[in-house]
Amino acid sequence: MQRRSTERDFSGYNAAQAERPVRPLARAAVSLALEGHRAAGQVPGALGSAPAPVALELGSGAGVEARFLAENGFQVHSYDVDPSVASTFVELARSLPISHTTTDLAQVEAFPAADLVISCATLPFVRRDAFPVLWNRIRDALRPGGILAVDLFGDRDDWAGTDGTFLARDEVEQLLRCADVLELVEEEREGRSFSGPKHWHTYRVLARRI
């Protein structure tokens, strides 16, 4: 097992993702965020209307979800530490409102204000010592009423004990005190990862910023 996130083959993983369908978490998050935006009387793209809603994608990987967000009317700011995906984002940015940054999320000092923050299978790879500050920055970026859609990993996951962030349920609940929790699904199962068989312990979170 890799003990450090830097030893993981993220570029190999991302290269294998380009053709997969959009993740259900992203579909659900977009529906909720657009619903909120419309309820506030803001119609993305309408003439003379408010500016497009803003989405942050943390750990964008191959760009599947970033494309989906932009095609649904969001101005997207995406981030990923893997330099191999940068050229894909240069291509996407030619026709879609996506601005991409190659960085370790722990190094981002502030994020743009956002109506939606999405992070699929990425936050657990942020170093545990950097996670609390990153979480506060995410919380601060999310506008009241904004949607938070993230995967977190649990403390019984096979990768717990590496340098990432693996959380007990009460820690997840503490993190979500800043939000109305719409969905918190905890799962444990035997399955596979890109690097082989694995016991997964995950939380899928959908929440609305208070």
State the Cα–Cα distance between residues 48 and 68, nearest whole angstrom: 24
Q: Residue 121: CB partners within 8 Å, gap ≥ 6?
A: 59, 151
Report the C-alpha gap between 56 and 74 in whole angstroms: 9
When asked if residue 67 is in the footprint of ligand SAM (CB under 6 A), the reply is: no
Q: Which stretch binds ligand SAM (CB under 6 A): 13-21, 41-49, 154-162, 195-203?
A: 13-21
Q: Are 156 and 199 in contact (CB under 8 A)?
A: yes
Binding mask 23-42 for ligand SAM (x = CB under 6 A): x-------------------
Cα(193)–Cα(151) distance, integer angstroms: 15
Helix (H) or strand (E) holding 65: helix 64-71
- Residue 59 found at the interface with ligand SAM (CB under 6 A): yes
**Can residue 10 be called a binding residue for ligand SAM (CB under 6 A)?**
yes
CB of 60 to ligand SAM, least distance (A): 6
Report d(CA 5, CA 163) in Å as an integer.
7
Number of residues that bind ligand SAM (CB under 6 A): 20
Q: Which stretch binds ligand SAM (CB under 6 A): 8-16, 40-48, 142-150, 152-160?
A: 8-16
Q: Does 158 bind ligand SAM (CB under 6 A)?
A: no
Query: Which CB sits closer to ligand SAM, 32 or 150?
Result: 150
* 200 lies in the site for ligand SAM, by CB under 6 A: no
SS3 of 165-177? CEECHHHHHHHHH
Cβ proximity of 120 and 59 under 8 Å = yes
Give 49 or 99: the residue with its C-beta nearer to ligand SAM: 99
For the CB of residue 144, give the shortest distance to ligand SAM in the complex, in Å. 26
Q: How far apart are CA 133 and CA 139, in angstroms?
A: 10
Residue ranges binding ligand SAM (CB under 6 A): 5, 10, 13-14, 17, 23, 59, 61, 79-82, 104-106, 120-122, 125-126
